[in-house]
Structure 1
Amino acid sequence: MNIQKITFGNGCFWCTEAIFQHLKGVISVASGYTGGHTANPTYMEISNGKTGHTEAIEVEYNANELSFNELLLIFFKTHNPTLLNRQGGDVGTQYRSAIFYNIEEQKQQADAMIKKLTNEQVFDRPIVTELSPLSEFYKAEDHLQNYYNNNPLKPYCALVIQPKLNKFVKEFTNKIKPELL
């Protein structure tokens, strides 16, 4: 196995965690916080947007099974990377679109993907995704991990996450773990 990690900020981590957990080749997904200035932040602290952190997911994956470019494409296609500091009804810097890379090669590939999507005019506005080196990833509280799978009937899960998951499954059927199909 060729185990790699990448950290994405693409809106509410409950939504993005649910999507990336179901990808073939993904070993684990952890929800957490990164990109801020407060050590060991809590959900309540980052919720007001004053710590500088974004809600993020740390994705551990087998690069022999799922390429970084495939992960990038799924990242860009499962949120709106043209919105600054918001996704849907979630507003604030904690919901910004961001890629926190571990190695320079990840940054280069992310830059190339942004250029490709821009040239192909996939989005009707410029991509505003932040590219930053990962400094520190703080895992979110235990009750916030695996949120959708543990709470599928909660209104937010049923009304916000499930439609995103349905769209994801429809567009990326060949990349989904069999248990979701």
Structure 2
Amino acid sequence: MSEYRSMIPKVIQRLFLISIIMIAISIIPIKMMVAQDTKPMSSTTTAAQGQAILVAQAPQKSPSKININPETGVPDGAILLTVFLKHDQSKTLEQILDELKKSGYWKAFPPEGVDVVSWYVVMGIGQVVTLAVPPERLRTVNMALERTAWSAYRTEFYATYDFAQVAKKLREQALKGT
């Protein structure tokens, strides 16, 4: 019986992570539609103390010109990669931002030729970034994070695909009774 009790927290944690990923994946099409009607905002603003704090930024077109196939949600010639950047909660936001600045994180990530599909802050966890990565750039993404983000974040990587269109079709079929 005690064996099962020790497994329950891990199962709940995994289910929670899967649900977060599914939520992030389901929001992507909505965010893409909203982004088309939204002007980009500044990525930083200066606080009274003169320190930079992050604010929301609308997605911008990337110079790599990766086209997302609207039927499959998969980028032409690329894979989707979701990166969890888990906050080190023993550090303050200012300490994390200082480490990122010192390591050159904002210059290195995301690397050239890689598109940001979505970038969310998940309170209590950190940041969840979904990238469209040409296969030949996968090593570059990994190296950029290893060299610059590891002092501030714990990282996890997941191959990803957009399930929203498939789920929508399945739901429509179910509602029609076919």
TM-score, with structure 1 as normaliser? 0.29
Task: Name the larger-Rg structure.
Answer: 2
Larger RCO (CA under 8 A, 6+ residues apart) = 1
